[in-house]
Chain A
Amino acid sequence: MNASSQAKPFVSINSSEGASSSIPAPMVDIGGVMPLESLAPVPASETPGVQLQRAREARGMSVSDVADVLRFSPKQIELLESDRYDDLPGATFVRGFVRSYAKLLKLDVIPLLAALAPAVPPTPIEVIPPANMGEAAHSGLVDRSLAKRIPWGTIVAAVVIMLAIGLVLYVVQTAGLVNMLGAVSSAKVDTPPVLPAATESATPKSSAPSATPEAAAPATTSVDMPPTTPLVAEFDERSWIEVRDAAQKVIFVGEYPKGTRQMIDGQPPFQIWIGKASAVRLTYGERKVDLKPHTREDVARFSLE
């Protein structure tokens, strides 16, 4: 039995009956009674139980012979042969039982199990290959380092998403700001608050410093006024103001906080009354208006043409 240089194919299987003389006898000799070929093919219309029973009888075996080998009880074997699967313990057992029984009788298992399928359904076992099967099996060496890799895909996606969010926020904010500003400035002009005129006259200081033109103007601008010789009032501190036009109609009145810049439009000459003259700078067209000559007790009252 040692190695010999035979010119046979590398792997071959030979089923040789001749070699059986040198082989130890099987413990239970059932299969050797009849060769497989001598069995008449069973009609497919027969139920699995009938097919099994017929094959068993053709081999000259009794139910108890089968029970001795398979270790199922004779009652279970009879139940199977009469196709009463409901009295047997479940699909797995019935299918396994049929498989063992068919192997013992040297029947082809596959058609038997197929015939059994309507009564005893098998569990689905198909292997579904994924759509990109074999993608990782390519022998490329480029990017499959064992070292931890940086998740570039995730980083790029995160940056893109952040940029998108930033852009959306920017657009929303600018649009919202413009709308809001328009609303605020028109509201300030349209709704004159009713205030007592003499409340600011009690301020003790009389030395009002002249307006400093280099002071930074606040960024608020009125957008819905035409720019024809505008009168602009800028407030360095909180102050009260009233402006009347040529028809003596109040066109601008109210108390305004520090940092306010208001454009006043109307028909000159204006009658102007400022509660705290030191806190307000007036510009008419290109010209700065000096409030000092008209100020008494920090209250300025004058007309402007």
Chain B
Amino acid sequence: MFGFLRSYFSNDLAIDLGTANTLIYMRGKGVVLDEPSVVAIRVEGGPNAKKTIQAVGKEAKTMIGRNPKEISVIRPLKDGVIADFTVTEQMLKQFIKRVHESRLFSPSPRIIICVPSGSTQVERRAIRESALGAGASQVYLIEEPMAAAIGAGMPVSDATGSMVVDIGGGTTEVGVISLGGMVYANSVRVGGDKFDESIISYISRNYGMQIGDNTAENIKKKIGSAFPGTEVKEMEVSGINRAEGIPRKFTISSNEVLEALSEPLNQVVKAVKDALEKTPPELGADIAERGMVLTGGGALLTDLDRLLCEETGLPVIVADDPLTCVARGSGIALEKMDKLGSIFANE
């Protein structure tokens, strides 16, 4: 009844609330925000300590590991789901405010928000509630593999099997989609964060050095690879020598990073193989012909497609701009929201 009023006051949004990055798609405009899911909170002293948001997004991410005692830098999502409800809500509120032009009234858009396919009812409700708390008038949930497949441009509504592997910051989602529905979906709690942790523990074990999260992420992005290549890259990094307690520099090669990543990569491979095992034969034949599509930030890990290709014997391709696939897919769902009903997930 008041649809015209709502469209005047706020634009509908699709949000990829990821462990590592939050992307916002605005109806009719495209992806308008891509920021790390990080919040820096300052706690003022005294008995009635007041908490204020110091920074969100990119600015907050630079503070990780560099914060003084009174500022805590929080990543409110962990393994694809909400770990800190209040902070997630505030972060969403800030992001929504940022994409809406300044208006007298606070925005109350309709929101499509992504949830991992393996998330529990409690986790989904938490995500829904946080979006409502951030000012949404209505919240629709969409499972990440479905959004990723739509965003990658796969023919999800056709009677052919499409397989998508979305490797995010916290989870790896594997989905087989046909006729607009999920035939198989699974998510394992392995993603970019686990890759970073593995690099940190590898360096700690073999070099006796402590490095920070951001340094580990830099190593992964610059010289990380999933498959042994002919070219060996090296990178000089610095950390704290645990024995001496003094900052030192050292050099690490891409093959060492590959070794460090072998364990989480094996879990990804296993999840993909499980999905293939449980895929009905007809759809399996389609996948064998077309291959599976990699999306998410993990798809940017060098030679991950080669690894999956070798392990499964199937063609593996990387989607265009894999980082924004889920947000774009949710955005397409948003544009066609009034027509597509069945793609939305229940709690």
Residues of A in contact with B (beta carbons under 8 Å apart): 1-6, 8-17, 19-20, 22-29, 31-32, 69-73, 76, 89-93, 95-97, 99-100, 122-137, 139, 141, 144-147, 151, 153-154, 157
How many whole Å from B14's CB to the nearest CB in chain A?
14
Q: Which residues 198-228 of B sit at the A interface, judged by CB distance below 8 A?
A: 206-209, 218, 222-223, 227-228
Q: Is B321 on the interface with A (CB-CB < 8 A)?
A: yes
Is B90 at the interface (CB under 8 A from chain A)? Answer: yes
**B324 CB, nearest partner CB in chain A, Å:** 6
Please tell me if the beta carbons of A14 and B234 are within 8 angstroms of each other in the complex.
yes
A residues near B233, Cβ cutoff 8 Å: 13-15
Chain B 149-178, CB-CB to A under 8 Å as 1, else 0, gives: 001111100001000000000000000000
In the complex, chain B residues 1-49 whose Cβ is within 8 Å of any chain A Cβ: 26, 29-34, 41-42
* Contact flag A124-B228 (CB < 8 Å), given A4-B250, A96-B318: no
Q: Check A1 against B207 for contact (C-beta < 8 Å).
A: yes
A157 with B235: in contact, given A4-B249, A31-B229, A96-B318 (CB under 8 Å)? Answer: no
Q: Are A3 and B207 in contact (CB under 8 A)?
A: yes
- Distance between A116 CB and nearest chain B CB, rounded to angstroms: 11
Which residues of B come within 8 Å of A, CB atoms? 26, 29-34, 41-42, 50-59, 86, 90, 94-95, 97-102, 104-106, 151-155, 160, 206-209, 218, 222-223, 227-239, 241, 248-251, 253, 255, 289-291, 293, 305, 309-310, 313-321, 324, 328
Chief secondary structure at chain A's binding surface: loop
Q: Given the known A-B contacts A71-B309, A96-B318, A153-B106, are A136 and B30 also in contact in the complex, defined by CB atoms under 8 Å?
A: no
Q: Tell me the number of A-to-B contacts counted with CB atoms below 8 Å.
A: 210
A99-B318, A100-B305 known; A23+B293 contact, CB < 8 A: no
Question: Which residues does chain A contribute within 8 Å of B152, judged by CB atoms?
Answer: 92
CB <8 Å contact, B32 and A12: no
* A24-B228, A29-B230 known; A153 vs B104 contact (CB < 8 Å): yes
- 24 examples of A-B residue contacts, CB within 8 angstroms: A5-B249, A8-B236, A13-B235, A14-B235, A24-B255, A31-B231, A32-B230, A71-B291, A93-B317, A96-B317, A97-B291, A125-B324, A127-B33, A127-B324, A128-B32, A129-B32, A136-B56, A136-B95, A137-B56, A137-B58, A139-B54, A139-B55, A141-B42, A154-B105
List, in ascending order, chain B residues with CB within 8 A of A122's CB: 320
On chain B, the residues within 8 Å of A153 by CB distance are 104-106
Nearest A residue (CB) for B249: A6
Determine the chain A residues whose CB is within 8 A of the CB of B248 once the complex forms.
Answer: 3-5
A157 to chain B, nearest CB (A): 6
Instruction: Evaluate contact between B316 and A100: CB separation under 8 angstroms.
Output: yes
Given contacts A12-B235, A92-B317, 14 further A-B contacts (CB under 8 A): A4-B248, A10-B237, A13-B235, A19-B253, A23-B232, A92-B293, A100-B318, A127-B32, A127-B33, A127-B34, A135-B102, A137-B58, A146-B41, A153-B104
> Cα distance A282–B155 when bound, in Å?
94
* Beta-carbon contact of A144 and B232 below 8 Å: no
B101 contacts which of A3, A27, A131 (Cβ < 8 Å)?
Answer: A131
**Is B305 within 8 A of A126, CB to CB?**
no
